[in-house]
Structure 1
Amino acid sequence: MTDRAADAVAETFRSEWGRIVAVLIRWTGDWDLAEECAQDAFTKALERWGRDGVPDNPRAWLITTARNRAVDRLRRARTEAAKLREVAMDPDPGPAPADGGGADEADEADESGIADDRLRLIFTCCHPALPLEARVALTLRTLAGLTTAEIARAFLVSEQTMAKRLVRAKAKIRDAGIPYRVPPGHLLPERTAGVLAVLYLLFNEGYSATEGAELIRTGLCAEAIRLARLLSALMPDEPETLALLALMLLHDARRAGRVNAAGELVPLEEQDRRRWDAASVAEGCAVLDTAARRAARPGFYQLQAAVAACHATAPTAADTDWALIARLYGLLAELTSSPVVALNQAVARAMAEGPAVGLDLVGRLAEDPRLAGYHLLPATRADLLRRLGRRPEAAAAYREALGLTASAAERRYLRRRLAEVGG
């Protein structure tokens, strides 16, 4: 295996996994079979590309290889079924599954009006027959290629629990015969909430990676923003699509300031604001203004974008309007029961009213089982204890947070803070 071949396989996996799996699902109607055959194709690519060279069209090679594998599996299954019917003397075996022909990536014409293939596939996966959480998780796993562990963190559940939910979602699709196709344009709105959640969590994983050496997965952020732009153009009168785009732009504008030259995480109050992207801040604020004018009342993404705008437009950390941010999180808490929103509100109140207030609120949140294992809970507690000068307690909380995160950048930051408090 040459370095070039290994890099090509890795890059193709990152960029094309979702499309390849989608082609196979559309053809076979079997999610598990599609994923298994796609994985087999990538495994074969690791062997063949190093020996024969990288093909001119890696995606086409992988689709053909995966399709051939699926054909073999389906034929073998039919043969076995035929033998069983012969033994049972079944006079009516019924129609055999189609052998294929629909595995071409070029899909049949649809009435959705969605030109981008990746966005069409996300709408396809977000079927309203599934619970919202299930359709979002399944789309992130199948089309975005996020691991079960990454998705589990986004939903604040264990990896085992998320794995079971994914299995149940696939089973429901199979047992209920839910078709894998893009809905016509008039049915897109009923899937929009799921699509927005997919793009939101996709960006979040890119902006703060669950694990690995890098804090930020730039390519994932860029893809989420690209899709959010397309969605906003497709639904220009939907305030929350605009608000989500604004939220991403305002966060992404601060990307360069979040790590220093050594790749170390830099907390918001210590960031060099001259490194922030002023053009992205301006665009994000303009898009947010448009969303606000079109909304009867602020929604989930609009409120979060408003928080991001408070941070992005403050000339210095000291100028941040923490009282307003705390109120915005209060409005968010009325829309969702998310304990992460409550934790963010506690931080905002700590900054506005003092660390003792925040510490009391964080202490109450420690009783919420949904935050068990969430590393930012002890990390926040540690920071508030540090600000209060309670160094031994802060050190213990930093150690607890260290044991809960797999992100190399966050672990380096927590170790630095631990050293500062004498740990």
Structure 2
Amino acid sequence: MDEVALRDLAPTVIGVLERRGADFAAAEDAVQEALIEAVRVWPQEPPRDPRAWLITVAWRKFLDATRAEAARRQREDAVWAEPAPESVAAVDDTLHLYFLCAHPALSPASAVALTLRAVGGLTTRQIAQAYLVPESTMAQRISRAKRTVSDVRFDQPGDLSTVLRVLYLVFNEGYSGDVDLAAEAIRLTRQLAKLTADEEAAGLLALMLLHHARRPARTRPDGTLVPLADQDRARWDTRLIAEGVDILQAALARDRLGEYQTQAAIAALHADARTAEETDWVQIVEWYDELVRLTDSPIARLNRAVALGESDGPQAGLAALSDLDPALPRHTAAAAYLHERAGDSTTAARLYAEAARTATNLAERDHLTRQAAHLNSQQPK
């Protein structure tokens, strides 16, 4: 049984139940139960029409839940009789659910969790494992999110940029538990790009593919990080790189540049270099100039400073870095790297150790600590 194909059906079935009178929260719960039932039943009894099977079972789950609650008995009287599956129009409600799950009333964490449940079709347990939180905590988060959006109706198109931010948050969570969130984000973004034909959706998909292509070379067998310059580029996935570049070039050809297309262009330049020494840092700085113009993001300015340190020398990078708030994430680590490039290993070691103390990611903290220890070991006794 193809569980990914099964989860792809979830938004459509939720939409069918909503059009039959179920509210979003009840429809989503019923579809989750139907998906669990499918995982149990289908390996032995595969249905001829998976979509119709899910609609039928989810509708029955909804009716059962409605009948079980005395407070909903009046509503139960108004529930339509169960239509034959063949009479249900094949309407794709996926885009509607994307916008619903990325509603501005939701926190980013809640929007991500609800997107993975309603659009991705993941169970609460799977999402909780991926985020390393108790299942009860994730269940409460999803329940609150569903209550927030249960009465929302869209008279106008939702905000696509918010949906893209939510998907990028999912991608950046990477992998933990039994669900690969990076792969799941790529699957959902590929779906969204097809639904919208939007340049920035395509740009985000290209960015994800180009980053994901480097994943096999990003860590050592013991789990420690490998910096980009030290990665074995023979382990990069050339198929994903080629696909990402093709999608990016098609998006850029429409001449409606956005931040995700710009970030993807930077990633493509890294992917194009056969060795770290062949990286076209001058072009990368130019793309960061575009990104700063588009977003005025302090993080983009920080990354530009590091790129400038590669193209024009570490002192130029340090000068650009000095104009930024030292409290920025990765500011201290960037300063440490540029001081190391400038030959000031004493300052670099101190800054690496300082950056390690404030790192929120265990692998990053370990890498920064190793860098500090390596430089300290080279100091004269």
TM-score by length of 1: 0.62
Which secondary structure does the structure 2 equivalent of 1:250 belong to?
helix
Equivalent position of 2:203 in the other structure: 243
Equivalent position of 2:170 in the other structure: 202
Which secondary structure does the structure 1 equivalent of 2:224 belong to?
coil
Deviations 1:291-345 (A, max 9, x none): 11112x4211211111011100012111112222122122112222433222222
Equivalent position of 1:420 in the other structure: 374
Equivalent position of 1:140 in the other structure: 112
Q: Which moved more, 1:309-318 or 1:261-270?
A: 261-270
* CA distance in 2 between partners of 1:271 and 1:262 (Å): 15
Deviations 1:217-268 (A, max 9, x none): 98323333333333444444x3223322222222222222112233321110
2:109 paired with 1:109:
no
2:161 paired with 1:193:
yes
2:293 paired with 1:325:
no
> AA paired with 2:307?
A
- The correspondence for 1:219, drawn from 176, 180, 202, is 180
Change (3 A) 1:218 1:141: closer
Which secondary structure does the structure 2 equivalent of 1:143 belong to?
helix
For structure 2, the 5+ residue unaligned runs are 44-52, 118-126, 132-139
Equivalent position of 2:48 in the other structure: none
> AA paired with 1:56?
V
> AA paired with 1:109?
A
Q: Give how far 1:270 is off.
A: 0.4
* CA distance in 2 between partners of 1:300 and 1:239 (Å): 10
Equivalent position of 1:253 in the other structure: 213
Q: Is the 8 Å Cα contact of residues 243 and 287 (structure 1) preserved in structure 2? A: yes
Deviations 1:50-105 (A, max 9, x none): xxxx8335997x969975884477x14458xxxxxxxxxxxxxx867866878999
Equivalent position of 2:271 in the other structure: 312
Tell me which of the two structures has the higher relative contact order, counting C-alpha pairs closer than 8 angstroms and 6 or more residues apart: 1
Equivalent position of 1:409 in the other structure: 363
Equivalent position of 2:50 in the other structure: none
* CA distance in 2 between partners of 1:65 and 1:96 (Å): 12
Which secondary structure does the structure 1 equivalent of 2:253 belong to?
helix
For structure 1, the 5+ residue unaligned runs are 1-10, 80-93, 115-119, 151-162
Equivalent position of 1:179 in the other structure: 153
- The correspondence for 1:29, drawn from 2, 19, 23, is 23
Deviations 1:161-212 (A, max 9, x none): xx99x96x766535xx3238xx9xxx76x55334433333322222xx5xx5
Q: Is the 8 Å Cα contact of residues 106 and 148 (structure 2) preserved in structure 1? A: no
Q: Is the 8 Å Cα contact of residues 128 and 191 (structure 1) preserved in structure 2? A: no
Equivalent position of 2:337 in the other structure: 383
> AA paired with 1:226?
R
* CA distance in 1 between partners of 2:83 and 2:166 (Å): 25
Count of residue pairs the alignment pairs up = 342
* CA distance in 2 between partners of 1:107 and 1:348 (Å): 58
* CA distance in 1 between partners of 2:301 and 2:60 (Å): 48
- The correspondence for 1:286, drawn from 240, 246, 262, is 246
Q: CA RMSD in A?
A: 4.8
Change (3 A) 1:38 1:346: farther
Q: Give how far 1:383 is off.
A: 2.8
> AA paired with 2:278?
D
Q: Is the 8 Å Cα contact of residues 125 and 135 (structure 1) preserved in structure 2? A: no
Q: Give how far 1:109 is off.
A: 2.9
Q: Give how far 1:420 is off.
A: 1.5
Change (3 A) 1:106 1:306: farther
* CA distance in 2 between partners of 1:128 and 1:202 (Å): 13
2:40 paired with 1:55:
yes
* CA distance in 1 between partners of 2:203 and 2:303 (Å): 19
Q: Which moved more, 1:391-400 or 1:122-131?
A: 122-131
Change (3 A) 1:360 1:76: farther
* CA distance in 2 between partners of 1:277 and 1:68 (Å): 48
Q: Is the 8 Å Cα contact of residues 217 and 226 (structure 2) preserved in structure 1? A: yes
Equivalent position of 1:84 in the other structure: none
* CA distance in 2 between partners of 1:300 and 1:34 (Å): 35
Which secondary structure does the structure 2 equivalent of 1:421 belong to?
helix
Q: Is the 8 Å Cα contact of residues 250 and 281 (structure 1) preserved in structure 2? A: yes
> AA paired with 1:55?
R
- The correspondence for 2:353, drawn from 387, 391, 396, is 396
Equivalent position of 1:353 in the other structure: 312
Change (3 A) 1:233 1:274: same
> AA paired with 2:89?
A
* CA distance in 1 between partners of 2:86 and 2:107 (Å): 24
Which secondary structure does the structure 2 equivalent of 1:422 belong to?
helix
TM-score by length of 2: 0.68
Which secondary structure does the structure 2 equivalent of 1:365 belong to?
coil
Equivalent position of 1:275 in the other structure: 235
Q: Is the 8 Å Cα contact of residues 17 and 144 (structure 1) preserved in structure 2? A: no
* CA distance in 1 between partners of 2:96 and 2:87 (Å): 14
* CA distance in 2 between partners of 1:107 and 1:318 (Å): 62
* CA distance in 2 between partners of 1:197 and 1:97 (Å): 42
Q: Give how far 1:269 is off.
A: 0.4
